[in-house]
Homo-oligomer: A and B are copies of this chain.
Amino acid sequence: MSEIGEFGLIDVVAGLVGAEEKTGEAWRNLIIGIGDDAAAWQGEAGVQLATVDALVQDIHFKLDLTSWEELGWKSLAINLSDIAAMGGSPRYALVSLALPGDIDVRDIVFFYQGMLSVARQFEVAIAGGNISRAPLVIINITVFGNAAGASDKLLTRSSARAGDKVAVTGHLGAAASGLEMLTRGLQFDAGSAAMLRRAFLQPSPRVSEGKVLAQRGVRTAIDISDGLVSDLGHICKASQVGACIRVADLPVEPAVKANFGPRALEFALSGGEDYELLFTAPAQVIEVVKATLQPMGCPVTVIGEMVHDRDARVTVLDENGKEFELPKAGWDHFATGKHGV
């Protein structure tokens, strides 16, 4: 970057984004993109959503474990996951990069290519951002979205009630075991290895699934970033209820079970970064959601229920109905999850 400077890099980025095929509502409504004091777009009616996540080098990612393209993918995907967890449609992204002076401009091109793959898939417009210098790479992406319905159709963390069933989309544990595989250099068959790497580095946000939840009457959801138990704890704290889940019912990813044996459970419970949707609703609502999502290829599994508990605890039960002790210090998880304020 030292050679072409921040402004040169901005020109490169503007060129890449400018060359995109601009399909979808966001691109159509965008009035001013990269290159002015602020981005501008024609507003849509209804509830607006906004979220920001930071990825810090050596805390949330390591450059020897990820390609720049995968990093670009993940940086945007985890933000779209937040919009999905509200039941909304992502629209615009602002990308703020802090980069060391000796960064290779080609790496930033790869980063943008990865990000643009996700943006294209979900029809998100890259509307602007910022580039500054820093001694290490720090990525801050803000995503702006639209909620489909009125404010009472939003998925929040604070609307769970005792008696709700707890359910989750997809399978759990793949992202954490992908990280484990990469950090320890574990060797698996090519299919498993590719799947686990992708789960950790190129998660797929559940955007259409989140919208189905909101439309079908779910009011409570969160995306799994910190880990199943931790994220369920956020719902409990915000809703002032407890939760009880059963180990036997967890949809642990089969490839994780096959390759990691008993540790698979630990990854599923505490690993985090699966970016599946964890949600609660009355049993009949869950059934409707299941009947809609499963034909779309998205498994839905009931793993427990919300209970009265002033202390808002999460209880995990083992196969015998006894309390399951979560391993405290297990594998080295440098990805510390997301800490939305």
Chain A contributes a number of interface residues (CB within 8 A of B) equal to 73
Residues in chain B near residue A37, CB distance under 8 A: 51, 82-83, 85-86, 155, 157, 221-223, 340
Q: Is the CB of A59 within 8 A of B154?
A: no
Contact of A94 among B50, B88, B133, B223 (CB under 8 A): B50
Query: Could you tell me the distance in whole angstroms from the C-beta of A211 to the nearest C-beta in chain B?
Result: 14
Which of B6, B39, B46, B59 contacts A49 (CB under 8 A)? B39
Known: A45-B43, A336-B132, A341-B13. A38 touches B142 (CB 8 A): no
CA distance A42 to B149 in the complex (A): 11
Any chain B CB within 8 A of the CB of A297?
A: no
| Interfacial chain B residues near A38, Cβ < 8 Å | 49-51, 82-83, 85-86, 88, 145, 340
* Chain B proximity of A323: nearest CB distance (Å): 23
Does A7 lie at the interface of the complex (its beta carbon under 8 Å from any beta carbon of B)? yes
Pick the contact of A52: B53, B85, B94 (CB < 8 A): B94
CA distance A140 to B46 in the complex (A): 27
Is A198 engaged at the interface, CB distance under 8 Å to the other chain?
no
Contact in complex: B40, A142 (CB < 8 Å): no
The answer on a CB contact under 8 Å between A36 and B341 is no
Stretch of A27-35, A164-172, A306-314 lying at the B interface: A27-35
Query: In the complex, what distance in Å separates the CA atom of A98 from the CA atom of B138?
Result: 9
CA distance A46 to B29 in the complex (A): 11
Q: Are B238 and A54 in contact (CB under 8 A)?
A: no
**Contact stretch, chosen from A122-130, A254-262, A263-271, A287-295:** A122-130
Contact A40 B238 (CB under 8 A): no
Q: Nearest Cβ in chain B — how far from A125, in angstroms?
A: 11
A268 to chain B: closest CB distance in Å? Answer: 21
